[in-house]
Structure 1
Amino acid sequence: MKNIRNFCIIAHIDHGKSTLADRLLQETKTISDRELKEQTLDDMDLERERGITIKSHAIQMQYNHEGTDYTLNLIDTPGHVDFSYEVSRSIAACEGALLIVDATQGIEAQTISNLYLALEHDLEIIPVLNKMDLPSASPEEVSDQIIELIGCEQEDIIPASGKTGMGVQDVLAAIIKKIPAPKGDPEAPLQALIFDSVFNSFRGIIAYIRIKNGTLKKGQKVKFVNTGRTYDADEIGVLGLGMKETKEIGCGNVGYIISGIKEAKEVKVGDTVTLVENPCSAAIKGFEDVKPMVFAGIYPVDTDEYEELRFCLEKLQLNDASLTFEPESSAALGFGFRCGFLGMLHMEIIQERLEREHNMTVITTVPNVSYIATMNDGEVRTVNNPSEMPSPNKLDFIEEPYIKAQIITKSEFTGSVMNLCIDKRGELTNQVYLTSDRVELSFEMPLSEIVFDFYDKLKSISRGYASFDYYPIGYKKSDLIKMDMLLNGDQVDALSALIHRDRAFELGKKICTKLRELIPRQQFEIAIQASIGAKIIARETVKALRKDVTAKCYGGDISRKRKLLEKQKEGKKRMRQVGRVEIPQEAFLTVLKLD
């Protein structure tokens, strides 16, 4: 056990975690040059295309340091705020962390929040200054930021470059010297933490585990504490680039277990695995259920595919424990699911993975957050969907979730960032200068305002420099109303939204204008209206296509033409009463991207 080291890599998005992990794999000869490709651990097409890590990836390396063989278990984690749940699980399975900071960009918001996560679990932190080969690197300035943040010495910071391989041996030496060996009792009853799971269509569900106490041998009967189910350990092993089968996994090590589980619901990430004949007394603590921040409805385009969509979502949930979903139905779209995501990028990724990995085409409704409504008789309800909003005469007041947002930006963009946040109903609570040209702004603002396009706007006004992190702080009273969209007097519930009263008119006008461009013209006139209760606040009209019914009258009396036009007018009236308007899929999506 004293020769095992478990560590993860934490950093802000795009600070070179995956590239540095590649160099570590090469240096320890875990992977041959032939097998190496850029970002080796990112095995999803989506990750490689966007250049971001979405999933945590675990891999075991063997390394000989000063004549002793060491086993290093590395977990590469995502850097985007939407995937911070993945990071929290990885941290629970480790004793140390490499904190990677880009020498050209300095410390950013997500670096700080991931660092606090690691410190809460008492991890040993090894600071690494990456991208030292770039001409724009400013190592002295960034080193000072790191020293100020974690209180280490200048010589503790390892200069490195994932691209050229500089400093990789120093990183490995520091991992072995500084990170403590795992603690645990090999003789105690088995106690193992499930920190991830994947679905394999031939083998069923593969659970990744970190053994805290005891030893696991092949063929033993195991029990999952949370679900209370028992299984046989058909195959166990460690995680190399592929899976390597072994006879047993020792205390403190990381590995996988296959026990022929087919149902996604039976494996919960964060569950404890123990033996049936000699169970452990308590489950491993430190795992909270994830709190989704953004809710949206996902509906199959073809209603027959409802069950298939459920199956696909269950499979995705295995691989991404932060996705939550429950069935719901809508008048316009039929049966579907109300899904909870950690943010907009998370929602986009899930939608793309459904299309790529499972060939499911889906319609996504306008994302929103959940509110708390208090009725006149004192009853308290949670409102996840605008259609659940109680009628105004029964409602006493409604509260919406607020967040504390931390934005780190260059000082030249302070004014425009403040304007953006105040536009989004934010209140400035604090402003701290980290260095002469970097400032940290703290705001309290409604979560519903950052759900839409806040992050994209923040990036564009700060030329990509501002970094953003947030956490929930509770609910506050708010003047919210439900805005409905009507087509020819019929309500389209997929386009309803709960919004602040001051914003309703402006947003209603925008959606109407956008829909007018997108809805194809019919033989009859279509009225697009936005309403609050019975009051119409905005209207646009899609003009009718007109057949030329008088083409066959050449000359002759005007009354002949008039007779035909009157007949057409009657027909148009009748058509309008029975005509149905199909809303194209793009219409639902463009509403999400309104400026």
Structure 2
Amino acid sequence: MKNIRNFCIIAHIDHGKSTLADRLLQTTGTISDREMTNQALDDMDLERERGITIKSHAIQMNYNYKGEDYVLNLIDTPGHVDFSYEVSRSIAACEGALLIVDASQGIEAQTISNLYLALEHDLEIIPILNKMDLPGAQPEEVTDQIVELIGCDPSDVIPASGKTGLGVDQILEAIIERIKAPEGDPNAPLQAMIFDSVFNPFRGIIAYYRIMNGSIKKGERIKFFNTGKNYIADEVGVLKMDLSPKKEVGTGDVGYIISGIKAANEVKVGDTITSLENPTDKAIKGFEDVKPMVFAGIYPVDTDDFEELRYSMEKLQLNDSSLVFEPESSAALGFGFRCGFLGMLHMEIIQERLEREFNMTVITTVPNVSYYSYMKKNPEQRMIVNNPSELPDPAAMDRIEEPFIKAQVITKSEYIGQVMTLCIEKRGELQNQVYLTQDRVEITFEMPLAEIVFDFYDRLKSVSRGYASFDYFPIGYKESDLIKLDILLNHEQVDALSALVHRSNAFDLGKKICLKLKELIPRQQFEIPIQAAIGAKVVARETIKALRKDVTAKCYGGDISRKRKLLEKQKAGKKRMRQVGKVEVPQEAFLAVLKLND
């Protein structure tokens, strides 16, 4: 056990975690030069295409240091704020963390947020200054920022480059010297925490765990603590580039187990594995439950695919336990699921993965957050409103509360004006402003979560030319003046396009949605009015003109009454058509409503 080290890599998005992990794998000989590819641990096409890490990836490396063989268990984590749940799970399975900071960008919002997560779990932090080979690197300034942030000695900061391999040996040396070996009792009853799981179509569910006490042997009968189900450990082993089977995995190690589990709901991330003969009496206190931030409905394009979609979502949930869903139905779209996501990027990735991995084409409704409504009859009792169509009658409602967040934006001082304008436009209130260095400012706002759901992150990047970084955490619910904005097509309400908005934004938003739908809905044989309404009051209207057939073409010359007769007949036909006509809303229209400011 004294020669095992468990550590993860944490950093802001795009600071070079995966590239540095590649160099560590090459230096320790875990992966041969022939098999080496960029982002070696990222095995999803999506991750390669976008150049981001979406899933945490665990891998075991062997390294000889001063004549002794060491086992290093590395977990590479995502950097984007939407995948912070992956980071919190990885941190729960480690004793140390490599904190990577880009030498040209300096410390950013997600760096600080991930660092606090690691410090809460008492991890040993090894600061690393990455991308030292870039011409824009500022090693002295960024080292000062790191020293100020974590209070270490400037000599503790390791200069490195994931691209050239500079400093990789010092990093491995620091991992062995500074991170403590795992503690635990090899003779105690088995206690292992599941921190991830994947579904394999041939072998069932593979669970990844970290053993806190005891050991797990092949063929042993094991029990899952929370679900109470028991299984036989058909295969146990450690995680190399591929699964590497072993007879036994001991205390402090990270490994996998295959026991032929087929049902997705039998494996819960955060559960404790123990042995059936000699069970432990308490579960491991791991990490907190996931709190979804953004809610949207996901519906199959063809209603017959509902069960297929449920099956796909369950399989996806195994691999991404921050996805939360429950069945719901909509008048416009039929049966589907109400899903909770950690953010807009998370929602986009889930939709993309459903299409790629399970061939499911889905319709996504306008994302929103959950609100609390209080009725006049019983002002103490609150109702959770996840969907605008669930909102009670405004006349009987006492008040409505919406979730607020504390947002931290770190940016260059020249962009303060634009960033503040954006935050105030999004109903934000300035709380604090701190200069981290001469030209870097941290601005703290309190703002409604609903305002950042749509396009806040994209617009923040554009007003700051990509220099601002953003992080947020929930601070509770506050009362707000919210109203339900309905969209009517041909005088019929489309519940999938309804939204709960602040009264001050309702008119502008209604006008924008009507204009956008006018562009996207194809013209029909009859005139279609598009209206935005608050209750019975219409606040905006656009009209899609009818496609006309020239019925008077055959009348050349002759009496005007003949033409008029044909036109009146056409007019009566159009009127009848409008009463029975149904308007199909294309999928782009649902998505375009989210990108109104483009």
| TM-score of the alignment, normalized to the shorter chain, above 0.5 | yes
| Cα deviation, residue 78, structure 1 | 0.3
| Cα deviation, residue 108, structure 1 | 0.3
CA–CA distance in 2 between the matches of 1:60 and 1:523?
64
Provide the residue aligned with 1:34 in structure 2. 34
Residue 129 of structure 1 aligns with an amino acid whose one-letter code is L
CA–CA distance in 1 between the matches of 2:530 and 2:377?
36
Provide the residue aligned with 1:488 in structure 2. 490
1:194 aligns with 2:194: yes
CA deviation string 1:348-397 (max 9, x = no partner): 00011111111111110000000000011223100000000001111110
1:371 aligns with 2:344: no
Tell which deviates more after alignment, 375-384 or 81-90: 375-384
Provide the residue aligned with 1:279 in structure 2. 279
Give TM-score scaled by structure 2 length.
0.99
CA–CA distance in 2 between the matches of 1:560 and 1:414?
69
Provide the residue aligned with 2:19 in structure 1. 19
| Cα deviation, residue 273, structure 1 | 0.3
Residue 558 of structure 2 aligns with an amino acid whose one-letter code is G
Residue 463 of structure 2 aligns with an amino acid whose one-letter code is I
Other structure's SS at 2:395 match: coil
- Give matches, 1:194-593, under 5 Å: 194-378=194-378, 379-593=381-595
CA deviation string 1:518-557 (max 9, x = no partner): 1111111110000000000000001111111111222221
Residue 339 of structure 1 aligns with an amino acid whose one-letter code is C
| Cα deviation, residue 457, structure 1 | 0.3
Provide the residue aligned with 1:142 in structure 2. 142
Provide the residue aligned with 1:54 in structure 2. 54
Provide the residue aligned with 1:10 in structure 2. 10
Residue 107 of structure 2 aligns with an amino acid whose one-letter code is I
CA–CA distance in 2 between the matches of 1:109 and 1:253?
32
Residue 389 of structure 1 aligns with an amino acid whose one-letter code is L
CA deviation string 1:40-98 (max 9, x = no partner): 00000000010000000000000000000000000000000000000000000000000
User: How many aligned residue pairs are there?
Assistant: 595
CA–CA distance in 2 between the matches of 1:554 and 1:23?
82
CA–CA distance in 2 between the matches of 1:466 and 1:562?
64
CA–CA distance in 2 between the matches of 1:120 and 1:57?
22
| Cα deviation, residue 269, structure 1 | 0.4
Residue 260 of structure 2 aligns with an amino acid whose one-letter code is G
Provide the residue aligned with 2:81 in structure 1. 81
Consecutive unaligned residues of structure 1, counting only runs of 5 or more, are none
Residue 63 of structure 1 aligns with an amino acid whose one-letter code is Y
CA–CA distance in 2 between the matches of 1:65 and 1:25?
15
Residue 584 of structure 1 aligns with an amino acid whose one-letter code is P
Tell which deviates more after alignment, 541-550 or 198-207: 541-550
Tell which deviates more after alignment, 66-75 or 370-379: 370-379
| Cα deviation, residue 503, structure 1 | 0.3
CA–CA distance in 1 between the matches of 2:362 and 2:566?
45
CA–CA distance in 1 between the matches of 2:214 and 2:249?
9
Other structure's SS at 1:393 match: helix
CA–CA distance in 1 between the matches of 2:543 and 2:237?
65
CA–CA distance in 1 between the matches of 2:574 and 2:157?
77
CA–CA distance in 2 between the matches of 1:449 and 1:162?
37
CA–CA distance in 2 between the matches of 1:286 and 1:430?
33
Other structure's SS at 2:474 match: strand
| Cα deviation, residue 106, structure 1 | 0.3
CA deviation string 1:103-122 (max 9, x = no partner): 00000000000000000000
CA–CA distance in 2 between the matches of 1:39 and 1:482?
45
Other structure's SS at 2:34 match: coil
Other structure's SS at 2:162 match: coil
| Cα deviation, residue 468, structure 1 | 0.3
Work out whether residues 220 and 275 of structure 2, in 8 Å CA contact, stay in contact via their aligned partners in 1. yes
CA–CA distance in 1 between the matches of 2:154 and 2:74?
25
| Cα deviation, residue 286, structure 1 | 3.0
Residue 113 of structure 1 aligns with an amino acid whose one-letter code is S
CA–CA distance in 2 between the matches of 1:24 and 1:547?
70
CA–CA distance in 2 between the matches of 1:87 and 1:341?
16
| Cα deviation, residue 505, structure 1 | 0.3
Stretches of 4+ aligned residues off by more than 4 angstroms: none
Residue 277 of structure 2 aligns with an amino acid whose one-letter code is E
CA deviation string 1:477-508 (max 9, x = no partner): 00000010001110000000000000000000
Work out whether residues 193 and 286 of structure 2, in 8 Å CA contact, stay in contact via their aligned partners in 1. no
Provide the residue aligned with 2:159 in structure 1. 159
CA–CA distance in 1 between the matches of 2:507 and 2:326?
32
CA–CA distance in 2 between the matches of 1:81 and 1:144?
25
CA–CA distance in 2 between the matches of 1:587 and 1:551?
35
Other structure's SS at 1:277 match: coil
Other structure's SS at 1:449 match: helix
| Cα deviation, residue 266, structure 1 | 0.5
Residue 373 of structure 1 aligns with an amino acid whose one-letter code is S
Other structure's SS at 2:443 match: strand
CA–CA distance in 2 between the matches of 1:551 and 1:135?
72
| Cα deviation, residue 288, structure 1 | 1.1
CA deviation string 1:238-273 (max 9, x = no partner): 000000000000100000000100011000000000
Percent identity over paired residues: 79
| Cα deviation, residue 336, structure 1 | 0.5
CA–CA distance in 2 between the matches of 1:373 and 1:80?
32
Other structure's SS at 2:529 match: strand
Residue 390 of structure 1 aligns with an amino acid whose one-letter code is P
Give TM-score scaled by structure 1 length.
1.00
Q: CA RMSD in A?
A: 0.6
1:43 aligns with 2:56: no
Residue 295 of structure 1 aligns with an amino acid whose one-letter code is F
Residue 152 of structure 1 aligns with an amino acid whose one-letter code is C
CA–CA distance in 2 between the matches of 1:270 and 1:396?
40
